[in-house]
Amino acid sequence: MMRCLELAKLGELEVAPNPMVGCVIVYNDEIVAEGYHEKYGGPHAEVNAFAQLSDRIPTHLCDVFVNLEPCSHYGKTPPCSDLIIAKKPRRVCIGMLDPHHKVAGKGIKKLIESGINVSVGMLEEDCKLLNKKFIKAHTVSLPYVTLKWAETKNG
Ligand SMILES: [Zn+2]
């Protein structure tokens, strides 16, 4: 998950207003593929990670790590939860739920219903910190503001 967050951060300047997302695929305790959401409107982290995975690796024995719940709706790209279900990894570890009203638990529900072992909350605080601006926008409909204040000594 720490690697997911490192990867996710690489998209920092290009993905807004989308969240920063990184995805890592593990087989036999080794990272065999990874990807991140690189650009707004472009493929999501999960798509990029699976595109990197060699055909020789049995997907059903892989674990997928992703810092944000895989999407479940058609946006600019098809839903990542459908892609993961088609690939059938044995486990999906998710850092945090997606607060976006179009996802909000639906992505996880789809994965669980398809029989994939899903866990949520790995390094959750770090995942929330990384996407604090995205989370604020989608939970209270306000922008995340940083205020830098300067004034003279006498006010
Ligand atoms: Zn997605």
Question: Is the per-residue pLDDT at 142 higher than 80?
Answer: yes
Going from the Cα of 44 to the center of ligand 1, the distance in angstroms, rounded, reads 5
92-105 residue pLDDT tens: 999 999 988 777 88
Going from the Cα of 45 to the center of ligand 1, the distance in angstroms, rounded, reads 7
Going from the Cα of 29 to the center of ligand 1, the distance in angstroms, rounded, reads 25
DSSP letters spanning 92-150:
EEEEE---STTTTTHHHHHHHHTT-EEEE-TTHHHHHHHTHHHHHHHHHS---------
How much of the chain exceeds pLDDT 70, in percent? 100
Query: What mean pLDDT, rounded, does the chain reach?
Result: 93
38 catalytic? Reply is no
Identified catalytic residue from 6, 14, 38, 46: 46
Q: What is the pLDDT of residue 70?
A: 95
Going from the Cα of 155 to the center of ligand 1, the distance in angstroms, rounded, reads 49
Q: What is the mean pLDDT of residues 19-34?
A: 97
Going from the Cα of 103 to the center of ligand 1, the distance in angstroms, rounded, reads 10
Structure-token pair, residue 113: 């219903």
Question: Is the per-residue pLDDT at 3 higher than 80?
Answer: yes
Is 142 or 32 the better-scoring residue by pLDDT?
32
Question: Is the per-residue pLDDT at 78 higher than 90?
Answer: no
CA distances from 18 to 21, 58, 114, 115 (A): 9, 31, 26, 28
Q: What is the pLDDT of residue 56?
A: 94
This prediction has a pTM of 0.89
Task: Go through the domains of the chain in sequence order and give each one's CATH number.
Answer: 2-140 (3.40.140.10)
Q: What is the pLDDT of residue 111?
A: 94
